[in-house]
Chains A and B, each alone.
Chain A
Amino acid sequence: MKHRYLPLTKQDEAAMLNAVGADSIERLFADIPASVRFQGVLPMSSAHDEPSLLKHMRDLSGRNADADRFASFLGAGIYDHHIPVVIQHVISRSEFYTAYTPYQPEISQGELQAIFEFQSYICELTGLPVANASMYDGATALAEAAALASGASRRKRIVVSRTVHPEAREILRTSARGLGLEVTEVGFLDGVTDLEALEAAIDESTAAVLVQTPNFFGCLENVRAIEPLIHSRGGLLVVSVNPLSLGLLEAPGKLGADVVVGDAQPLGIPMSLGGPTCGFFAVTEALMRKIPGRIVGQTADRDGKRGFVLTLQAREQHIRREKATSNICSNQALLALCASVYMSVMGKQGMQEVARLNLNKAHYAAGRFPAGTKVFGAPFFNEFVLKLPEGATVKELNARLLGAGYIGGYDLGAAYPELAGHVLVAVTERRTKEEIDGFVREWEAWL
């Protein structure tokens, strides 16, 4: 068969088989016992030529309601932010996207420096001195933070607030089973972690407290008040953050967090049905040699010229094998690059401005709903919770909104049974006043 990705000609094949001393390609598979050889043709659709594949993919893509055609008020961990156009141009440089992990530093200085700058950006945002090259996503980063805390403190209990993203808590529970950790969840009051319950849940066997701010309901947690509760018992404080909010909100490192994690999706990464995104992970100096994943460090070459290498590899699975505390091998380098380019584009001013825009739009939108609709009184950033009247369902509301060109909010009932009939609405800088007003009108008309 001929194929545009396969260069082998009949002459090549003959010459190569001759060099090998085989009379056919089949002979090269003689070591596979006949009893396990696959006979027949794999049951899947046959090859598409390029035009028909494009058409097929356009058809599949066209059957999805995308955020170019619909105004999205859906957040809950993935956000419809503006993506500066230069990002796509940078990450489309195939020197970046077709490279492997930078194992050969002499020909990977571009990637290594980009990661070094990413680590520097994350340190700046979070207020902590050490960041890694990235994790799969924010939720798995949180689970890794729990593992790190357990290893560092030699304690087995993890206390997590129920205001942390429900999926992050599910992943935490899955991984805790593997690691033999005990996970205790603490409830909430008026949209934020119940501090009395939190204090009661912490004891001398608690490895860490895990909180998220802005939390899953969009509310800001009182990290200043939480910090002494865990540190007085000798455990670690792990804070998960929305990095875009850090243009406005205090760096968690300055509030006493030992580990700060989060998902970089708001920083220039497409929503893409939730993945791939990029988790970030920052720690205090004391935890530097316990951080999971790849880390890039600065050094010099034989001529004394500045250069960058993967470093502190003694922590990692390829060295430690079964003694490793994390099995992570890759990072999300290309998405870390997206986030880096985003922060380069936004810079010191833009990060503040985009955060302010989110604050303004969300507060404007929240104020447009009838009194009593918005349920929690805690301060919020760009998301808030609304309550539907008795008997109304979020599913029906969202179907109506979809028909009018809007993607509605997140139905809280599935993850929080006590919040059935409540919806989490996100308003980013991409939403115009006209869209917000239209969304509210459509909502009121349906009710």
Chain B
Amino acid sequence: MKPEKALIFELSRPGRIAYSLPECDVPEVDPSAVIPVGHLRSEPAALPEVYEVDVIRHYTELSRRNFGVDNGFYPLGSCTMKYNPKINEDVAKFPGFAKIHPYQPEESIQGALEMLYTLQNDLAALTGMDQVTLQPAAGAHGEWTGLMLIRAYHESRGEGRTKVIVPDSSHGTNPASATVAGFETVTLPSDARGMVDLEALRQAVGPDTAALMLTNPNTLGLFEERIEDIARIVHDAGGLLYYDGANSNAIMGIARPGDMGFDVVHLNLHKTMSTPHGGGGPGAGPVGVKSKLAPFLPKPVVGLHPDGTFYWDEDRPQSIGRVKSFYGNFGILVRAYAYIRTYGPEGLRRVSEIAVLNANYMMHRLAPYFDVPYPGVCKHEFVLSGKNLKSAYGVRTLDVAKRLLDFGYHPPTVYFPLNVEECIMIEPTETESKETLDAFIDAMIQIAGEAASDPQLVLNAPYTTAVKRLDEATAARKPVLNCSC
């Protein structure tokens, strides 16, 4: 059992330093001579006093208590935890990318602007859209941006459409984004096959429908086969179609949202385009639109002058305005650009093919041991239900997830989507080998067996981690949110 890890504040010893700053080579000013005393800090921030070795060992130890894609298989459904290529990390650190200022003259950042311009076009091609903004910082941010575009579009036509329709299997961000963009949410039930219920959709749409938000393949990993009918129903009612790109890893070069009838798309570059999740961020959530929505895009976008130079196009009178400081998460965009260049169009298509093959292979091998609520062909991910283990042995999906930790895996997404009981959502991605998939499958089968033969073994898991199951109820009831040193 690993001992408790000290907080960095607990390592502090007065007088130690870990910094090296230049001597002051200009005349010093007395702060109280240039700043009124009431503005000056009355006592210094109680930051720790440590030396450089403390810093390195502290964070190295913390890193050893963390699990990333480089540590092992991470089949977290809907999150596309693929390998994060190292060349992307290296190129993003080039000084010409990492050490440039957003307000530098355009002529001094032509390389960066060319990269952004090309990426705008690449993402437009990939999604079948006409124009792209790279500004949104994350998927949820892209959703909100897209909905604000839809709002501006309807308003420009004198239509006050107030409702956004989302399926009950949608990501929680979909309805939350709709609310923050000033819309009411209408939740649509799925049919028995896990698809959009067309009859319910027909009933739901009307003159107040602003948009339908959809992932396709949906969060169950199923392709909405009747997408063209869905598009027709929404468009005939005067609404627009919003594509949540969380599941784009299934269809690159195979089917494009723009060709399915979607009007607005966001992509999660930290999923599909391999940029690292960073422990929760940063990501990037570019938004693509059909030309009728392009005038409303956040400003600026990158433009190309006839003389071959690139510029910030700020002259967009109908723009919804800014959604993010400066030009979005540029460092992430560099990585995504490098990723696209690494594969090219045929490679990206191959990525999706293998992602889908891997998911189908896992689903078929696990089907004899777990309940498969939606059998048939899946796309890049699939869902299992742990309801049989729960009813037969009292072993919940959460327990299966915790037991997987002892086998050295990050568990799948659990309890999402909400419309599947005891849901286990598995997304292998294309960068995992058959041996890795087989070993994980074997672990799942073993755990299903343990649930039957020795349920306590599963209920008390994990055993091998830095800490055991944590008391989350007390954490929320009596919050301790900082170390109050």
Inter-chain CA distance A349–B256, complex, in Å, is: 55
The residue on A at minimum CB distance from B181 is A178
| Closest chain A CB from B197 CB (angstroms) | 17
Residues of A within 8 A of B100 (CB): 64-67, 271-273
**Leading 7 A-B pairs by shortest Cβ distance:** A274-B326, A61-B96, A63-B111, A47-B344, A98-B68, A334-B278, A274-B102
Binds A, one of B202-210, B236-244, B428-436, B444-452: B428-436
Given A6-B430, A64-B109, A273-B326, A131–B19 Cβ distance below 8 Å? no
Residues of B within 8 A of A327 (CB): 140, 143-144, 173, 176-177, 179-180
Is A36 an interface residue when CB atoms closer than 8 A count as contact? yes
Is A330 an interface residue when CB atoms closer than 8 A count as contact? yes
- Interface contact B470-A5, CB-CB below 8 Å: no
Given A276-B331, A331-B281, A321–B175 Cβ distance below 8 Å? yes
Is A359 an interface residue when CB atoms closer than 8 A count as contact? yes
Taking CB atoms and an 8 Å cut-off, the chain B residues in 90-140 that contact chain A are: 90-105, 107-112, 114-115, 121-122, 125-126, 128, 137-140
**18 residue pairs bridging A and B, Cβ less than 8 Å apart:** A3-B343, A20-B361, A35-B228, A47-B341, A100-B74, A101-B277, A101-B280, A123-B484, A124-B46, A179-B180, A248-B31, A272-B331, A273-B326, A299-B474, A301-B469, A325-B180, A335-B282, A347-B16
Is A184 an interface residue when CB atoms closer than 8 A count as contact? no
Which of B27, B40, B97, B182 sits near A180, CB closer than 8 Å? B182
| Closest chain B CB from A295 CB (angstroms) | 6
| Closest chain B CB from A436 CB (angstroms) | 7
Taking CB atoms and an 8 Å cut-off, the chain B residues in 163-190 that contact chain A are: 171-173, 175-182, 184-185, 187
Is A74 an interface residue when CB atoms closer than 8 A count as contact? yes
Inter-chain CA distance A43–B470, complex, in Å, is: 50
Is B385 an interface residue when CB atoms closer than 8 A count as contact? no
Is A114 an interface residue when CB atoms closer than 8 A count as contact? yes
Is B320 an interface residue when CB atoms closer than 8 A count as contact? yes
Which of B27, B105, B143, B357 sits near A360, CB closer than 8 Å? B27
- Interface contact B341-A171, CB-CB below 8 Å: no
Binds B, one of A50-58, A204-212, A385-393: A50-58
Taking CB atoms and an 8 Å cut-off, the chain B residues in 329-383 that contact chain A are: 329-332, 334, 338, 340-351, 353-354, 356-358, 360-361, 364-365, 376-377
The residue on B at minimum CB distance from A63 is B111
Inter-chain CA distance A216–B64, complex, in Å, is: 41
Taking CB atoms and an 8 Å cut-off, the chain A residues in 361-400 that contact chain B are: 361, 363-364, 379-380, 395, 398-399
Q: Of residues A17, A64, A302, which shows the largest number of chain B Cβ atoms within 10 Å of its Cβ?
A: A64
| Closest chain B CB from A406 CB (angstroms) | 11
Is B440 an interface residue when CB atoms closer than 8 A count as contact? no
| Closest chain B CB from A298 CB (angstroms) | 4
The residue on A at minimum CB distance from B94 is A61
- Interface contact B322-A174, CB-CB below 8 Å: yes
Q: Interface 1/0s, chain A 86-126, versus B by CB < 8 A? A: 10111011111111111111111111011111011101110
| Closest chain A CB from B340 CB (angstroms) | 7
Inter-chain CA distance A348–B474, complex, in Å, is: 32
Given A32-B255, A33-B228, A402-B108, A107–B405 Cβ distance below 8 Å? yes
Is B69 an interface residue when CB atoms closer than 8 A count as contact? yes
Given A57-B91, A334-B278, A352–B476 Cβ distance below 8 Å? no
Inter-chain CA distance A274–B475, complex, in Å, is: 36
Inter-chain CA distance A15–B182, complex, in Å, is: 51
| Closest chain B CB from A360 CB (angstroms) | 5
Is A200 an interface residue when CB atoms closer than 8 A count as contact? no
| Closest chain A CB from B66 CB (angstroms) | 3
Q: Interface 1/0s, chain A 3-18, versus B by CB < 8 A? A: 1011110001101110
Inter-chain CA distance A106–B472, complex, in Å, is: 12
Inter-chain CA distance A148–B22, complex, in Å, is: 41
Residues of A within 8 A of B317 (CB): none
Residues of B within 8 A of A45 (CB): 341, 344
Is A19 an interface residue when CB atoms closer than 8 A count as contact? yes
Is A195 an interface residue when CB atoms closer than 8 A count as contact? no
Is B315 an interface residue when CB atoms closer than 8 A count as contact? no
The residue on B at minimum CB distance from A82 is B21
The residue on A at minimum CB distance from B145 is A174
Is B306 an interface residue when CB atoms closer than 8 A count as contact? no
- Interface contact B176-A317, CB-CB below 8 Å: yes
Is A445 an interface residue when CB atoms closer than 8 A count as contact? no
| Closest chain A CB from B49 CB (angstroms) | 5
Residues of B within 8 A of A58 (CB): 94
- Interface contact A321-B185, CB-CB below 8 Å: yes
- Interface contact A94-B348, CB-CB below 8 Å: no
Which of A15, A33, A322 sits near B175, CB closer than 8 Å? A322
Is A351 an interface residue when CB atoms closer than 8 A count as contact? yes
| Closest chain A CB from B295 CB (angstroms) | 15
Inter-chain CA distance A305–B65, complex, in Å, is: 14
- Interface contact B260-A36, CB-CB below 8 Å: yes
Given A38-B256, A110-B65, A65–B108 Cβ distance below 8 Å? yes
Is A324 an interface residue when CB atoms closer than 8 A count as contact? yes
- Interface contact B22-A348, CB-CB below 8 Å: no
- Interface contact A347-B255, CB-CB below 8 Å: no
Is B200 an interface residue when CB atoms closer than 8 A count as contact? no
- Interface contact A121-B280, CB-CB below 8 Å: no
Inter-chain CA distance A3–B246, complex, in Å, is: 24
Q: Interface 1/0s, chain A 301-343, versus B by CB < 8 A? A: 1110111110111101111111111111111111101000101
- Interface contact B5-A107, CB-CB below 8 Å: no
Which of A22, A99, A116, A180 sits near B67, CB closer than 8 Å? A99
- Interface contact A432-B25, CB-CB below 8 Å: yes
Is B73 an interface residue when CB atoms closer than 8 A count as contact? no
Given A90-B59, A298-B480, A333-B280, A363–B103 Cβ distance below 8 Å? no
- Interface contact B68-A129, CB-CB below 8 Å: no
Is B60 an interface residue when CB atoms closer than 8 A count as contact? yes
Q: Given A65-B104, A139-B324, 14 other A-B contacts at CB below 8 A?
A: A36-B228, A36-B259, A66-B95, A74-B104, A90-B56, A99-B279, A104-B405, A138-B325, A174-B321, A275-B328, A301-B471, A330-B140, A334-B279, A347-B18
| Closest chain B CB from A341 CB (angstroms) | 6
Inter-chain CA distance A447–B141, complex, in Å, is: 45
Given A74-B104, A106-B466, A173-B321, A120–B9 Cβ distance below 8 Å? yes
Residues of B within 8 A of A48 (CB): 341-342, 344
Inter-chain CA distance A334–B138, complex, in Å, is: 14
Taking CB atoms and an 8 Å cut-off, the chain B residues in 383-438 that contact chain A are: 401-402, 405, 410-411, 416, 430-434
Is A154 an interface residue when CB atoms closer than 8 A count as contact? no
Taking CB atoms and an 8 Å cut-off, the chain A residues in 24-75 that contact chain B are: 25, 27-33, 35-38, 41-48, 50, 53-54, 56-70, 72, 74
Given A105-B467, A174-B148, A317–B364 Cβ distance below 8 Å? no
Residues of A within 8 A of B39 (CB): 220, 249-250, 379
- Interface contact B21-A429, CB-CB below 8 Å: yes
Residues of A within 8 A of B63 (CB): 90, 93, 95-96, 110
Residues of B within 8 A of A35 (CB): 228
| Closest chain B CB from A418 CB (angstroms) | 19
- Interface contact B48-A429, CB-CB below 8 Å: no
Residues of A within 8 A of B36 (CB): 379
Is A133 an interface residue when CB atoms closer than 8 A count as contact? yes
Residues of B within 8 A of A284 (CB): none
Residues of A within 8 A of B278 (CB): 96-97, 99, 332-335
Residues of A within 8 A of B91 (CB): 53-54, 57, 61
Residues of B within 8 A of A104 (CB): 67, 401, 405, 410-411
- Interface contact A100-B35, CB-CB below 8 Å: no
| Closest chain A CB from B73 CB (angstroms) | 12
- Interface contact A107-B98, CB-CB below 8 Å: no
Inter-chain CA distance A202–B337, complex, in Å, is: 47
| Closest chain A CB from B166 CB (angstroms) | 8
